[in-house]
């Protein structure tokens, strides 16, 4: 294979060796080989339909490209830094294999529209893979939530005990985060799935190409509308990275809760040994390394989003060499997002809930104080007055070191004569969660109904 530059005609001196290595992208963009070949096959097919290639040339090119793909996948392809990128490596090998027909493949296109097409094809596939991993995690959460629909735990605001909820209800909150993420990616894919091929370097081409036909061959919704925008647009990659950052933010919040809950101080859940590690010096330690690492990777993904935004902010139209720097942050985002989702989907089913510890924690912190206020309101007390009554009752509980449910009826009536012996029904944890019996509430019946609706939603897709 010749390493002569395919664009070297205008140049009288060879590229400096360090510059050659510095500007090359083949070490990371070679992962696009399958999409590069896919796009080239579609392009050759369209060129033949337009009469720009003969049928024989088309067939020779396609057979050569398929052979190159087989060589790459068998580990028999030698990548050359001198040939800069995946596109030149494939085209150079094709030309050396099939001769002049290979030199005709690039008719009517540029590396500018070629790389934009490759990245879109790549990202389109990766989005579907990521959505499938989110779905798998969601299904794991539904199964666990169904098991724990009645398990009472404290709900928190400001990380202080607020009101009792069920563990199943809490897990369904995680489900809803992920549902938004899955929907966001589906919407993002609408803008990814637009074909820039045929925009050529920046102005289109003089050849009678059929971009609608090429788009159909590649499964794109439509060709792009403006050639300048086509080769310089990286909004789709930034939008994906923003969606990825949101997913990682959600996984990081889940990680934080799992880390806290699995601590000896909370003792709400036990993470499987398969997802934890020990200490080199402290034999008793069981460290939640997987959620900690996911929490850490979130910052990395946030950084990639900022990198891409900064990359594009000062670029004039159309294509600039800066855009070579879009791939590494994008690839790393995809890889780490997929890995984080996979490990979470594997970890959730292996979590063991500790209902006794959760219940004991829910008994602390006056979690049913709002229930007592609601009780008084139903008896005719204005809410603000009820709020003050309950606040005084809580103060008594604090001074005595006991919960509201442990105060006597006489003590409670000292704050309001409207309190009767039926008050203790609303001060129980079970009574509190059961009373939130509306859509979106934490009542076990509503949790099960939410799970059922969620399963139907996922099944319908």
The pLDDT of residue 14 is: 60
Q: Is 110 a catalytic residue?
A: no
Q: What is the pLDDT along the chain (461 residues), one digit of tens a residue?
A: 445 555 455 545 566 677 777 778 899 999 999 999 999 999 999 999 999 999 999 999 999 999 999 999 999 999 999 999 999 999 999 999 999 999 999 999 999 999 999 999 999 999 999 999 999 999 999 999 999 999 999 999 999 999 999 999 999 999 999 999 999 999 999 999 999 999 999 999 999 999 999 999 999 999 999 999 999 999 999 999 999 999 999 999 999 999 999 999 999 999 998 988 776 777 676 889 999 999 999 999 999 999 999 999 999 999 999 999 999 999 999 999 999 999 999 999 999 999 999 999 998 888 888 888 999 999 999 999 999 999 999 999 999 988 888 899 999 999 998 999 899 888 889 999 999 999 999 999 999 999 999 999 999 98
C-alpha span between 67 and 72 (Å, rounded): 9
Torsions phi, psi for 248 (to 5 deg): -65, -35
pLDDT of residue 392: 93
Among 322, 306, 303, which Cα is nearest to 232's?
322
List C-alpha distances in Å: 269 to 50, 143, 203, 208, 357. Answer: 64, 16, 60, 65, 9
Quote the tokens at residue 135. Answer: 């779905």
pLDDT, residue 365, reads: 81
- Is 304 catalytic? The answer is no
The confidence score (pLDDT) of residue 163 equals 92
| Candidates 2, 96, 279, 452; catalytic one | 279
- d(CA 55, CA 434) in angstroms, rounded, equals 72
pLDDT value at residue 8: 55
Residue carrying structure tokens 């799992």: 258
Question: What residues pair up with 269 in beta bridges, in sequence order?
Answer: 353
Distance CA 141, CA 36 (A): 38
pLDDT given at position 314? 96
Q: 323 and 119 in contact (C-beta within 8 Å)?
A: no
- Helix segments in 82-110, DSSP class H: 86-98, 100-103
Report which of 454, 455, 445 is spatially closest to residue 166, judged by C-alpha positions.
445
Class of domain 8-107: mainly alpha
Q: What angle do CA 322, 211, 111 make, to 5 degrees?
A: 25
Q: What is the CATH number of domain 365-460?
A: 1.10.40.30
Active-site pick, 158, 274, 408, 438: 158
For the chain, which residues make up each domain, given as ranges? 8-107, 112-214+221-360, 365-460
Nearest to 88 by CA among 182, 12, 155, 5: 5
Question: Coil, strand or helix: which one is 403?
Answer: coil
pLDDT of residue 324: 93
The structure's pTM equals 0.91
φ, ψ of residue 315 to 5 degrees: the values are -85, 125
- The topology under which CATH files domain 112-214+221-360 is Fumarase C; Chain A, domain 2 (1.20.200)
């Amino acid at each position: 294979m010749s390493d002569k530059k395919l664009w070297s005609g205008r140049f009288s001196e060879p590229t400096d060796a360090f510059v050659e290595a510095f500007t090359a992208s083949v070490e990371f963009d070679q992962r696009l080989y399958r999409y590069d070949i896919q796009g080239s096959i579609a392009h050759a097919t369209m060129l033949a339909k337009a009469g720009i290639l003969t049928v024989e040339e088309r067939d020779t090119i396609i057979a050569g490209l398929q052979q190159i793909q087989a060589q790459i996948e068998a580990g028999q392809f030698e990548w050359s830094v001198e040939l800069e990128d995946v596109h030149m490596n494939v085209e150079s090998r094709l030309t050396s294999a099939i001769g002049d027909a290979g030199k005709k493949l690039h008719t009517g296109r540029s590396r500018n529209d070629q790389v934009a097409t490759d990245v879109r094809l790549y990202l389109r596939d990766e989005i579907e893979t990521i959505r499938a991993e989110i779905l798998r995690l969601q299904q794991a959460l539904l199964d666990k939530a169904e098991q724990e629909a009645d398990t009472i735990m404290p709900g928190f605001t400001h990380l202080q005990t607020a009101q009792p909820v069920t563990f199943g209800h809490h897990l369904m909150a995680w489900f809803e985060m992920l549902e938004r993420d899955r929907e966001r990616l589906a919407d993002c894919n609408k803008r990814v799935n637009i074909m820039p091929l045929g925009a050529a370097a920046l102005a289109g081409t003089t050849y009678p190409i059929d971009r609608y036909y090429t788009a159909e061959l590649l499964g794109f919704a439509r060709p792009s509308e403006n050639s300048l925008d086509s080769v310089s647009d990286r909004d789709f990659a930034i939008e994906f990275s923003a969606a990825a950052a949101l997913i990682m933010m959600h996984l990081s919040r889940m990680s934080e809760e799992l880390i806290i809950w699995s601590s000896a101080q909370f003792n709400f859940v036990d993470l499987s040994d398969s997802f934890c590690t020990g200490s080199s010096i402290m034999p008793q330690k069981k460290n939640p390394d997987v959620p900690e690492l996911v929490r850490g990777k979130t910052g990395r993904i946030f950084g990639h989003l900022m990198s891409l935004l900064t990359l594009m902010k000062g670029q004039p139209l159309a294509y600039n060499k800066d855009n070579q720097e879009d791939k590494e942050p994008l690839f790393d985002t995809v890889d780490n997002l997929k890995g984080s989702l996979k490990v979470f989907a594997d970890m959730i089913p292996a979590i063991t809930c500790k209902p006794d510890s959760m219940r004991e924690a829910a008994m602390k912190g006056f979690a049913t104080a709002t229930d007592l206020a609601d009780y008084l309101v139903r008896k005719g007390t204005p809410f603000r007055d009820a709020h003050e009554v309950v606040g005084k009752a809580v103060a008594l509980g604090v001074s005595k070191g006991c919960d509201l449910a442990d105060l006597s009826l006489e003590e409670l009536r000292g704050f309001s004569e409207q309190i009767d012996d039926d008050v203790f029904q609303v001060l129980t944890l079970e009574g509190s969660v059961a009373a939130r019996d509306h859509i979106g509430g934490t009542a076990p019946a509503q949790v099960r109904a939410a799970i059922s609706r969620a399963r139907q939603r996922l099944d319908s897709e």
